[in-house]
Structure 1
Amino acid sequence: MLISRRYFMGLISAGFVSGTLAAFRPEADGQRGAVPGQTLVDALIDSNTGSSVVVEAQRRTYTASATVMLFSVPLVSRSGVGSGYTLIEQATTPGGALVSIQFGAGSYPETAHGLNRLGLIHEVVLEPPGGAPRECAYYAFMTTSQETSLSQAKKAVENQGASVPYVAAQGRATGGVCAARVERMQLPSHYTWRNADTLLRRLRAQLAGWPVPSDGFRGEAATFLYAVRRAMLDPQQRTAANLFFNTKRFTLATEKERDPSTGHRLANRKLVAAAESVMRLKATLQDRSTGQKTLFQLWYEAGSGGPPLRFEYQPRGFLRLAFEVSKDAQAPPVTFALKRPDAAA
């Protein structure tokens, strides 16, 4: 089977970041309340930080590679199809540790004939001393696509429009109650991953005007990125944690092992100090209402507390993506959430 460069890049774009958060696609909106001109993330940060707060921050950027599959058989691979970033900040506050995690990833539409896919998520969690998470807030923003096969992806390549569909969401958990609100929108296609920071400013302005979701469901004050980070920090070989996203509850199960092969490769690139410190984490995210499972794996440096070094997932049956740390990755600028005054990373 011959795949042209145009077709290949289109397949990548058609399934790119929509798969990053595919397990979290909303099914219902949260309820309305009142919001005082802030995002829920900003409100949680401002109520728990001051000018004297001490912040630790770690950031990594990634380059993306993609493999097109047919009946689980790799057909063709290409590197440099996109990029991503992770920024982790932690502040010690009177109420405990405040953890902020930002993640973003996107494709390069200029090499994919105008198709673009991107996703951004920001989570903040308050951890009381020695206790489980007490409160959390998040917002997320991503392009949407419904392609589930090579033929559908081909149609997406051929039918490019002047606008791109997005879904935006924000939610919070406090007092043991989780609630979220979701909106769908169309934005001009000239907004791409290259100017994701501009898109994010526009999104935050809209989120600040949303009513706060009030009615919700009982659940843990834990979010996806936070649960993944807790699993990385946990010395146990196997972990399990509950979390929520939008109107759904999930369970994240993980298993860890050392990966000296990947460790040596990263050590040769001077990305880790010791090859033996690199761990592989295999994860299963399961929807607690439907039982649907999403599998992914990531690699990290044990004991560093930093973002992952590499992660892989298969957002569609025809597409497998890998993001690996790269100091030269061309990711959009990221604004620190806890540091004052705000600065770009």
Structure 2
Amino acid sequence: MANDMKETTVLVTGAAGFIGAAVAEALMARGQAVVGIDNLNDYYAVSLKQARLDRLTASHGDRFQFHALDFSDMAALTAALAPHHFDRIVHLGAQAGVRYSLENPQAYVASNLAGHVNMLELARARQVAHMVYASSSSVYGGNTKMPFAVEDRTDHPVSLYAATKKADELMSETYAHLFRLPLTGLRFFTVYGPWGRPDMAMWKFAERILTDRPIDVYNHGEMHRDFTYIDDIVGGVLACLDRPPADDDAPKAGGSVKPHALYNIGNNCSEHLLRLIEVLEDALGRKAQRNLLPMQPGDVPATYADITALTRDTGYAPSTPIEIGVPRFADWFRAYTGL
């Protein structure tokens, strides 16, 4: 990273979230200041979100400023950020979760649609050098071609969550085209690791195994996921942030026109779910009781990231297999929960 960027400030949305807090930590560790925003909603325990924020403040209090606000409220967003100057945005805030989108669709409309437009408008008004935003592997729907490539069709989402993420990509394409706003969308593949989310399978499995309760295994275990360790994800996000797409109107990955780039960010390794459970069992020193269930609505049987474009353009090279990452998560989980 060029030395002149070390003094810049980055706005991070979802700063109390799993990936957001980890990205904020990495930015400050390399010398940048962070303005973080998060609405601290109760989709999962607010205490975990607050604990992540407390870590950031304890480690980098002089570089970290936080605002509790909902970026789907444009007036509140504008007012809170008025005193701040920032050069780049990492927009990771969103209503997450495939299954929850079946129960509370309005939360996704507010955060992932209206909220994303607000962030695009903010980036345009501030003329930021680059905004990196979170998309999802969910946009591939029931794609059966493996691995998923950014050129693959993504117009058949199987959940509302996936549809909102695809809409974010389309709106970003429009802003990049009309206003020459440099944007990069990252399609995240199953992220896990310390300080992760309680609604994710890894956390649920660990909690149930350690409390001697059965784990729910969907599609009777015939699931594959590209499990990606948080440190690899953070490295990829920062590598992208440092390399805004050039505005040269040339065709690029995903068929977009610059300055809008789309990438898969994953481990480039699709693991069988039952293999993951075995690794977690070994790390926890206990066997799981398995409750085999049919496929859940909105879910897909397999994900697998083709990361060729991201590696080509940024040098991204994930280096954490589940045999290393899962034990790290297990150690943190025991320490955090006391189980």
- Could you state the TM-score of these two structures normalised by the residue count of structure 2? 0.28
Q: Which has the higher strand share?
A: 1
If each structure's helix is expressed as a fraction of its own residues, which one has the higher value?
2
Structure scoring higher RCO (CA < 8 A, sep ≥ 6) equals 1
